[in-house]
Amino acid sequence: MKPILSIMSLILTALLATLAGSCKKNDGKSVVYFTRNLSAEGLIQAYEKVNGKIEGRVGVKLHTGEQNGPNIIPREWVKALMEKDLKGANIIETNTYYEGDRYTTEQHRETLEVNGWTFCPVDIMDAEGTALLPVNGGKWFKEMSVGKNLLNYDSMVTLTHFKGHTMGGFGGSNKNIGIGCADGRIGKAWIHTAEGSEEQWSIAEEELMERMTESTKATIDHFGEHVTYVNVMRNMSVSCDCEGLEAEAVVTPDVGILSSTDILALDKACVDIIYAMHDEEHKHFVERIETRHGLRQLTYMKELGMGSDDYVLIDLDNGGKRISVKDAARACKKRSIYNYSTLGNKGQMVNLSDFEGKVLLVVNTASKCGFTPQYDGLEALYQKYKDKGLVVLGFPCDQFGGQEPGSNEEIEEFCRLNHGVTFPLMAKSDVNGPKANPVMKWLWTLKPFAGFGEGETAKFMDAMLSKADPEYAANPDIKWNFTKFLIDRKGQPVARFEPTVAPEALEVSIEALL
């Protein structure tokens, strides 16, 4: 008898220890899992911590992006996750309320092909109609109109690229579901447009946050415990993926992947990490959140009982120990020019990480400009300092006065024969606008225009541009050919020099970095 009691005692002790460990881990708080591993493996690891109730027919709610959108979750990651853990699942989407690449089902299908979402079925849920789901406890809605096919699923995995948002301040799981499951003609109109208004986006700020959140509540109440959430904090522009190639430059550091079965805890953890970053790292994102009243998403989710804002953050990279949001923010690697690649003038991909540890001088150039003789000064700088670690990179551009009309081959020949250029030239590209080279967009976002300085040439440039656009100086972008950006050995831009500054005037600044 004693051995049996002894065995039972051991089992009971072990069970109590397990329960105690579980309580200690959670303390009644929601759990958010965190990994710095931004890869398919990291995505799988984060998902597998929160997939216990995902069963039956599964829909994966994912923003598949506008055509060639640069910031969406990588397809290869999603494919690996679905092949390992979500066999037979469908990606689920709805058409957009704005006229773009996904406005109609036909356009949406074409965009899915362009973006490579072809490895599994994609269900455009409102392609054949809509359905109504009740909104319990809402002040704006009693019901929400969603894509009809949402009702065909038993469980939903919410896979979200966390980023800024032009209207919502930030786009997390709440935005992904609230806007992304509402159908493109009725539900989205209820969220965005005041009744009787001719202005499509007439609802904004706190009312928009509340309407969007009530839409989310309708969907997650429908799935009950059979819904889970993963947020990927990578390539976080302040723009939504709906803006595609027109999205503002990414300046916020990449963080990692977070997951939870609590939507409020997850979105709040992501926002808290953004706020825990250094000022220079998060200022653009925080400004976007606060000017759009985005934090109302979190407080309204709490008021509606959609989750808890009291959570613990569990570090999957270090044995599951608890960490603070400051710990997570400290893990962020500051974004640098080494994050970017661009096309070289022979069509080859140039990884700017190949120049890590060098001092870079990045210049947008043109062959038929009054400033074209600056090629001589740029080459002189390159020859004088290249052995000490300077690299000059030319980015030919035809946006200013049509002064770079030639092909890449013609540009290279002109530079070599007329100015003896030996420093690397990239492929011709835009530096402003919706098709701007991401390298240049990133540089002028961090180092905005601050005037042409003094002198007659500066006065001429100001008068010429003011005539075309009296407000030109308020825009941070590049104003003319031969704008120069000086990059330190850590890949950070330290100075911007307008075309009115001759290359030889940069020597002191360059020497200080070498």
Dist CA 41 CA 27 (whole Å): 29
CA distances from residue 401 to 163, 236, 368, 404, 469 in whole angstroms, order as listed: 35, 33, 9, 8, 15
Region for residue 48 given its phi and psi (left: phi exceeds 0; alpha: psi -120 to 50; beta: otherwise): alpha
End-to-end CA distance of the chain: 81
Helix boundaries (H) for 224-361: 263-276, 279-291, 296-303, 325-330
- Cβ proximity of 353 and 360 under 8 Å: no
Q: Residue 329 in contact with residue 242, Cβ under 8 Å?
A: no
The four Cα atoms 421, 425, 427, 431 give a dihedral, to 10 degrees, of: -100
- The DSSP H or E segment spanning 26 is helix 2-26
Asked if residue 270 lies in contact with residue 172, where contact means CB atoms within 8 angstroms, the answer is yes
Give the residue numbers marked as catalytic.
418
Name residue, tokens 């120049």: 355
Q: Report the Cα 498 to chain-centroid distance in Å.
A: 29
Question: Phi and psi for 97 in degrees, rounded to 5?
Answer: -85, -25
Q: Are 277 and 256 in contact (CB under 8 A)?
A: no
